[in-house]
Amino acid sequence: MTGRLGLLVAGSVAEGLSARLDPAVPIEDVRLGKFVKIVGQKYEYFCLVTDVQLDSANNDVLRDPPGDPNKIDAFLRQVLSGTTTYALVKLKPELMLANLAADMQFEDADMVPRPARTIPPHFSNVSDATLADFERVFGRDDGKNHFQIGQPIDMDVPVCVDLRRFVERSNGIFGKSGTGKSFLTRLILCGVIKASAAVNLIFDMHSEYGWSAKNEEGTEVKGLSQLFGGRVAVYTLDMESSRGRGVKPAGEIKIALREISVADIALLQDELRLHRTAVESAALCEDKLGDDWVARLLDMNGEELTDFANLEGGNHASLSALRSKLRLIDRLPFVERSLERSTLDQVIAQLERGQHVVLEFGRQRNLLAYILATNVITRRLHELWVKKTERYWNTKDEADRPRPLMITIEEAHKFLNSEAARQTTFGTIARELRKFYVTLLVVDQRPSGIDAEVLSQIGTRITCQLNDERDIDAIFTGVSGGSHLRTVLATLDSREQALVLGHAVPMPMMVRTRKYDPLFYAAIGGDSAEVVLARSRRYEEIFGDE
């Protein structure tokens, strides 16, 4: 369905607009979240459909409707439609652009999309947006600044995100389990890597980003290392698991006990079931025992622990409980009592050179291992990037400008809940708005578990289907006009659909997410044309149009 939809008949800037649907346009073809254009006298307005309503010019028809709907005469329906009965489409104006067909002088600011601050006059024409309109608003997929994330629900035209704006702030990909968050995350990461918009560190909790993974149909799909070759290095916390899957990691990551700080213990309170006083005891140990406080505390016998508590004024019961819980960390396979040199040095050096890194957890994907490893590594990286940034501020030399670093984490609410966000590196990064060239890409099925202040700083939100009202409320934290978008979000299918809004797109948009298949591999440049064509044919034979 293309072309004219109807005429504008009512509305306001605050409450939105109402358009009377043209009788020739089937009401069932107009879906919530549809992207439409209104041509005013001076501006073109780009809007989202937020509601579709039935109305009547004569209430008598509604009080005494025709009989059995299945037996209504087609001629009678045609007579009533568009005159006595009609449809209204509710629209939320998002953007305005200069109407180039108008014989007027415009300022440069009118030539780029900007928020709608006025409305068009009565009886302005409402129509489907065209490919040219989409490119004018969302940009064209050029492999550099813009990357296609999907298509509108009812059209076959690309919708792009601005990658440069995307990496300027921390971002979120949300949705309940099974909605395709991981594949959507992989799409975004491919775009960022191809455009060199930022260097990426991906904490791969389920070992599905680095080498290969399986989709919902059980078909194996490529990982980032397969698509980008040497530009992506895969490291592991579980070498045996990686080799068993046919992966050849660039190295194995080990963490020494001396690399664990009080901040890491504070973040693990829930997983270790620690009392609040245990964190205070950890701070006392770090202060009195130095960097090797964990190992020294673990090595204390009962008498030594009692002497230490009495000497330093610590609580013996709390120190004893802390020591007991630290043994769980000591038993993790990737944790060592001591290391001659940190195995993280190689990872950090590669990130500094612009090489992307995927860290697989293998069988170590319980939350204790995941939270500990990610926090230790991220804290060290953040400290390094802060030093790099401060040096750049001092020298003003472009050669000293740090590479933008984007860190991808899953189960983000564990790091960014109201308590943890105030005391962890992740909360600091989320609030800094790339001040030190480090941002987060958070992937989570429970956005309501993330601190409201942190959510308000999330630049771009890509949201798949959610059912929990608290999660839906959280998505629109700090979003102007969120009440209109709630209805749109509620109409998403359970798979391959998402609502994109925020810093990297000029206006909210509901999309069918791009398929992660051989055709996508070709667009990214991972295969030769012959291989792509052969795989695409085979893919179509298996899955058809699905």
Q: What pLDDT digit, counting tens, does each position of 5-60 carry?
A: 999 999 999 889 999 999 889 898 898 889 999 999 999 999 999 999 988 877 76
- Structure confidence at residue 535 (pLDDT): 47
Quickly list H helices, 331-397: 344-352, 367-395
- Structure confidence at residue 159 (pLDDT): 94
- Structure confidence at residue 55 (pLDDT): 86
Tell me the C-alpha distance between 380 and 148, whole Å: 33
**What does each C-alpha distance from 494 to 48, 259, 490, 500 come to in angstroms?**
21, 42, 10, 15
- Structure confidence at residue 350 (pLDDT): 93
Closest CA to 441 of 169, 191, 148: 169
Strands 509-513 and 460-463: unpaired
CB 461 within 8 A of CB 429: no
Closest CA to 237 of 190, 189, 205, 270: 205
**Residue 395 burial (10 A CB sphere; 0-12, 13-18, 19+):** exposed
- Strand locations in 157-297 (E): 159-162, 171-174, 199-204, 212-214, 220-222, 232-236, 251-252, 255-256
Stretches where the chain sits below pLDDT 50 are 1, 526-532, 535-536, 539, 542-543, 545-546
Q: Kindly report the CA angle at 528 between 526 and 529, in degrees rounded to 5?
A: 120
Tell me the C-alpha distance between 523 and 175, whole Å: 26
CA 236 to chain centre: 24
Tell me the C-alpha distance between 5 and 310, whole Å: 81
The pTM of this model reads 0.86
Which tokens go with 214?
A: 């399986």
- Structure confidence at residue 414 (pLDDT): 86
